[in-house]
């Protein structure tokens, strides 16, 4: 396993859209191991997307189970994920390993229905809410070349310099 290098804003590669994963093979499993290790090596460590390590494939890992009082599915490997339904809207504070010095207030759907493939190519469907739904929406944005910075209503009002990692 290996900890991979994280691209940091304003690296232009973070703005590229990712391609669908074509094959669920050994190379994919090896990459997912490395991506997961990279996620856990970073501060925060609740989510990561492949393009953050310069791999333009639609792969996301989310695990918010370490956060107290948060309902979650545990460790989620989401390949070629699609949000097929959503509801509500909530403002919440977000950070990102690719934007290490700032956090920002972003509106996200409160509930989402996600269809994705797991690392074995099995189709899965998850109903998520609250913080887990927020992290999934944030990570799927990375697959489309979007950062939370792109979702701020106002940089002056909604962007905050980070003092410490929570
Ligand atoms: Ni991020």
Residue 129 is predicted with a pLDDT of 97
Give the environment of ion ligand 1: residues with CB less than 5 A.
96
According to DSSP, the residues that pair with 77 across neighbouring strands are 61
Residue 122 is predicted with a pLDDT of 98
Give me the CATH code for the 12-161 domain, please: 3.90.45.10
For the record, the structure tokens of 28 come out as 């994919």
Which pTM does this prediction carry?
Answer: 0.96
Q: Is 156 helix (H, G, I), strand (E, B) or coil?
A: helix
Ligand 1 centroid to 96 CA: how many Å? 4
CB atoms within 10 A of CB 24: 15
* Catalytic residue check, 122: no
For residue 77, which of 157, 7, 15, 21 has the smallest C-alpha distance? 21
Question: In the chain, pLDDT over 90 holds for what percent of residues?
Answer: 89
Q: Mean pLDDT for the chain?
A: 95
Please pick, among 94, 119, 132, 139, the residue that the annotation labels catalytic. Answer: 139
Residue 166 is predicted with a pLDDT of 53
Residue 42 is predicted with a pLDDT of 86
pLDDT, tens only, 68-122: 888 899 999 999 999 999 999 999 999 999 999 999 999 999 999 999 999 999 9
Residue 163 is predicted with a pLDDT of 79
Residue 153 is predicted with a pLDDT of 86
Residue 165 is predicted with a pLDDT of 58
pLDDT, tens only, 121-143: 999 999 999 999 999 999 999 99
CB within 8 Å of 102: residues ≥ 6 apart = 95, 149, 159, 160, 161, 162
């Amino acid at each position: 396993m290996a900890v991979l290098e994280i691209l940091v804003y304003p690296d232009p590669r973070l703005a590229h859209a990712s391609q669908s994963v074509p094959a669920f093979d050994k190379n994919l499993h090896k990459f997912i191991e490395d991506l997961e290790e990279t996620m856990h090596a970073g501060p925060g460590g609740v989510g990561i997307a492949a393009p953050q390590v310069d791999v333009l494939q639609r792969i996301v890992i989310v695990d918010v189970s370490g956060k107290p009082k948060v309902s979650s599915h545990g460790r989620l490997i989401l390949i070629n994920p699609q949000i097929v339904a959503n509801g509500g809207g909530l403002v919440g504070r977000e950070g990102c390993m690719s934007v290490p010095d700032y956090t920002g207030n972003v509106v996200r759907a409160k509930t989402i229905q996600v269809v994705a493939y797991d690392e074995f190519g099995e189709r899965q469907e998850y109903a998520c809410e609250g913080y887990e739904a927020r992290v999934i929406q944030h990570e799927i944005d990375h697959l489309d070349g979007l950062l939370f910075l792109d979702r701020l209503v106002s940089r002056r009002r909604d962007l905050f310099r980070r003092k410490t990692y929570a």
